[in-house]
Structure formats: structure tokens, C-alpha cells
Structure 1
Amino acid sequence: MATKVSQWPRYLKKAVFHYCPGCGHSIIHRLVAEVIDELGIGERCIGVPPAGCAVLAYNYFDVDMGEAPHGRGAAVATGLKRVLPDRIVFTYQGDGDIAAIGTAETIHAANRGENVTVIFVNNGVYGMTGGQMAPTTLPGQNSTTTPGGRDILRDGAPLNLSEMLGIANGSAYIERTAVSSPKTIRHTKKAITKAFKVQMAGLGFSLVEILSPCPTNWKLSPVDAMKWVDESMTRYFPLKVIKDLAPDLK
């Protein structure tokens, strides 16, 4: 008898992704949908994508969705969760969104302990608008606005947002993962699962930062973009659990 090892996630629509070849968003979308399916929370889930590459996430996730203005994902999620506390609310945000215009909303949501989950996709550039320098662009990394590489003296250092959120009083679970290999993809799914479970247990703010390739704006092949994540991004953004107030929750 044949054994089914994979199937289309119930809460992922059968729509053609608009993402560039080699982009990590497609992988992450599937992981989130698989977790929602396996936890049985799809009928009470609400997703919140703001502006950026994931602005069309409502075309892919087959759950209730609420669009947010640029950077305001945590604020919209806070309102939804407070009005509908029985729902499972998550935001899906890129680094240009969450770590620039959205820093205030995100930091204060974490500090208040808002019981929501954030999926933070870090590809080191503003992806949708053409590859400009983002708060997470690495030192020396070329972008359309730093053609000679990011200069820390001129541009400042990359922002370690997850570490900042880790010291917020209300954050319960913060982890940084990646989708650059089968191993990291499997681990990322476990981290997303735990983040949702932290919310389901009412423990407070949870966030998974996911290092993701952007071949188009990095001017690399998909294979080389994966190597860039492993060999360059992880040096500045190490993969690790940053905060975990529920170590026994798997």
C-alpha cells in the first residue's frame, strides 16, 4: 500500500505564486499553511499582511485576512485579537516593513505582551520596490541605494530587531530560523508551530524571524542566494532561540 508523504495544505489556495524564482516566500507560505492545518486552527485564524512582497498573501492563505498599512501589522493584529480574543491572529511581514516603519508598533506590541504571532521574513532588502537598503542590509552589501555597499559610518549598522524584542517584558517566544536548506526548513516549521502554540496558550507575544533568499534583488542565482543566507546572513543574524518562556511547549 502506498504511503502519502505530502499533500496540498488545506489552507493554502491553489493559486500561482507571483514571487520571483528562488524566493523564500513561497516556502514560508506553505509552512505557515501546513502548521495552521495541522493545529486545526484554520477556521479561527486571521492573517495580517501589510505592504511589501507579501501584500498579496490573501491570494494564497485560505483563512480570514485583514490588510494593514505599511508597518502597522502589529497594531492591526492587536486590535483584531482584543476584539476577537478567541481567534488566532498572525502577521506576515518583511524586514523593510517590520524593522523600519513598523518598529514602534512591533516593539510596543511585544512590550505589552499582545497575544499575537509575527512571521518576520528577513531578506535584507526592500524586495517589492526594487532592492533598496533595508534596516537589515548587511555591512558592505550592495543595494540599489548602496551601490558601493552599506557603510556603517554613513548608514548605521543592521538592526537586530529580534534581539531587541527579546528584552521586551511581554515577549514570550522569539526565534530566528532560515529556509536555505531542507534542515533549516524543517526547523522553521517547528518554530512556527511553537509560535502559534504560545499564542494558543495565552502566553504573550511570539515571533519567528526567517532568513530568506532574494535572488532577484541580490543579483544571484537561486543556488548562490541560498549560500548567501548560510555564509553571510547568519554571521550577522545567527540562527538561535532568542527568548523562550515556554521551553516545555513543543
Structure 2
Amino acid sequence: MASELVERYFRKETLPNIWCPGCSNGTVTSAIVRAIDNLGLDQDKVCIVSGIGCSSRASGYLDFNTLHTTHGRAIAFATGIKFANPELTVIVITGDGDNAAIGGNHFIHACRRNIDLTVVMYNNHIYGMTGGQYSPTTPRFDRATTAPYGNIDRYFDICKLAIGAGATYVARGTAYHVQQLTKLIERGISHKGFSFIEALSICPTYYGRKNKKGTPADMLKWLKDHAVDIKQASKIDAEELHNKFIIGELLNIDEPEFAEEYQKMLNNLKVNYK
């Protein structure tokens, strides 16, 4: 099955990829591909848009309509694509630095507008491609190239930010819980409106080494041990949930979709202002 997916959905001339050994970017990317395949989407009607960063290299490996954009601007480009051709399924691949820092304004306003995009944010808590700087999701007191004595910034709970800004589908999965992550991405793609999936991932090279997290296998085990499914979270007291993260579907509601509302306005203008 895996070889069939590679044959169909990857640009073989771009392989092997340049991700570090143990990096989970390939795992999250494969979850996106499996979600698309499970939904039976027309390959020519899928558009993958990415920004800048380790995760954003994925658009170059995938054989869809793809666009590798400038830093932090993937959602802005994706918005234009969706407006120009609403029939396309538009998926944004981004990282915690690309989306939560330089791209943060585009992110919150796309949530607010509820435009029909699916954003998958690979969250490895670090800027990997540029040398291991801390990002808006780096946990407090963890070390990074730009925080050699520990990061004193408070970090974003990016899913809460998405919900507060108006996204209508929000979920969190991990690179360990691959089947669940695939299903969450499927639901996000199928949802009409702005869908955001945080994919907790690992960066053994920069985040792992700086913070003595052990091997890639150790880091994946950490994800497993600290994840609490949303179905179980309500049964656990707050003290036990401390320093853990909730995975699963966090929000799924129906609200008017921005591009459709815009088209309704245009149709109304044509009728009433001839």
C-alpha cells in the first residue's frame, strides 16, 4: 500500500527527501496523502500550498497542484487560490514558526473569515530549517539556539487560538497516533469552512538534542505518554492533565463559509443593481 501511494502521489524525481533521520515530517505528510487517498479526491483538483520551513518542503515532493510560497504567506496565497477556483480542495502545509509567528496575522484572519481551507500545522516546537531558534510554541524554559539558558516566553496553545479566532473545525493529533491523525485530516478536508489540524511532531536534530530528549523513538514515546484523548480528558482531574495535551477533534461547528457568502453578495448585486 505504501509503495502504491508513493507511486501515485509523490514526485519521484525529488526523492529521497532532505529531512533529517528521525524527523516526523514524513509521517505527517504521509497522513495527509492517506487522507486524500481515503477520500478519493481527484488529484488534479487538489492544491497543496506551503510556506517556508522544514515542513513546507513537502509541497515539492507531492504530485498535486502545488505552490511553495514565501515565509508566513501560505494562507494568503491559499485564500487567493480558493477565491479564484472554489472547486479546488486547498490544503496548507505549514510549521509552528511559519504559521504562528510571521504568518500569525494571516492565520487568525483566515480563521475569522471561515474560508474553506484545510491547514495542517506541523508543530515540532522549534525553527528547524534555520538553526534551532525558539518559536511561539516552544515550551517555557526549554532550550533553543536563541534561548541557550531556556525560553522565558509563554507559548501559544495554537488550537485555542484558532478556536478563539473563529475557525469552525479544530483538531490536534500527533506523529505517533498516525491513524487518528489521518482521520482528523480527512474530517478537516471534508468540513466546509476553515479547518485547522495541529500535528505534534518531533525534531530530534535541534529540539531533541538541545533539550536532551533522547532518540527519535524516545521522543515519539514521549508524545504517546503525554497525549490524552479528548474522550478521556473529561474523566481526568486538572492536576493529572497538567503537562499533558489533549488530542482528537476539539471543535466541529457549521458557520457560513466566506467564499460562498461573497458569491451570494455578488449574485444579489447583479439582481438588484442592474
| 1:46-78 deviation per Cα after TM superposition (whole angstroms, max 9, x unaligned) | 111100003332331110111221111111110
**2:175–2:181 contact (8 Å) kept in structure 1:** yes
**1:160–1:237 contact (8 Å) kept in structure 2:** no
Deviation at residue 236 of structure 1 after TM alignment? 5.4
Describe how 1:74-223 pairs up with structure 2 within 5 A: 74-151=75-152, 155=153, 157-169=154-166, 171-180=167-176, 184-198=177-191, 203-217=192-206, 218-219=208-209, 220-223=214-217
Aligned AA for 1:160?
D
Q: Distance in 2 between matches of 1:241 and 1:172?
A: 11
Bigger Cα displacement from structure 2, 224-233 vs 104-113: 224-233
Q: 1:175 to 1:55 in 2, by over 3 A?
A: closer
**2:204–2:216 contact (8 Å) kept in structure 1:** yes
> How high is the TM-score relative to the length of structure 1?
0.86
**2:60–2:66 contact (8 Å) kept in structure 1:** no
Deviation at residue 121 of structure 1 after TM alignment? 0.5
Q: Distance in 1 between matches of 2:60 and 2:73?
A: 20
Q: Distance in 2 between matches of 1:46 and 1:147?
A: 39
**2:118–2:189 contact (8 Å) kept in structure 1:** yes
Q: Distance in 2 between matches of 1:150 and 1:168?
A: 26
Aligned AA for 1:37?
D
Indicate the percent of aligned positions where both proteins have the same amino acid.
33
Structure 1's consecutive aligned runs of 4 or more residues displaced over 4 angstroms after TM superposition are: 231-234
2:224 matched to 1:227? Answer: no
Deviation at residue 40 of structure 1 after TM alignment? 2.4
Q: Distance in 2 between matches of 1:236 and 1:94?
A: 21
2:235 is matched with: none
Task: Decide which structure has greater helix share.
Answer: 2
| Structure 1 unaligned regions, length at least 5 | none
2:27 matched to 1:37? Answer: no
Secondary structure in structure 2 of the residue aligned to 1:150: coil
Q: Distance in 2 between matches of 1:77 and 1:228?
A: 34
Deviation at residue 245 of structure 1 after TM alignment? 1.5
| 1:127-180 deviation per Cα after TM superposition (whole angstroms, max 9, x unaligned) | 1111111100011211111122222xxx2x1111211111233x2210011012
2:232 matched to 1:243? Answer: no
Deviation at residue 25 of structure 1 after TM alignment? 0.6
Q: Distance in 2 between matches of 1:162 and 1:123?
A: 15
2:239 is matched with: none
**1:89–1:116 contact (8 Å) kept in structure 2:** yes
Q: Distance in 1 between matches of 2:64 and 2:94?
A: 17
| Structure 2 unaligned regions, length at least 5 | 229-242, 255-274
Aligned AA for 2:169?
Y
Bigger Cα displacement from structure 2, 117-126 vs 224-233: 224-233
Q: Distance in 1 between matches of 2:227 and 2:149?
A: 18
Q: Distance in 2 between matches of 1:197 and 1:149?
A: 40
Bigger Cα displacement from structure 2, 54-63 vs 234-243: 234-243
Secondary structure in structure 2 of the residue aligned to 1:238: strand
Aligned AA for 1:67?
H
Larger Rg: 2
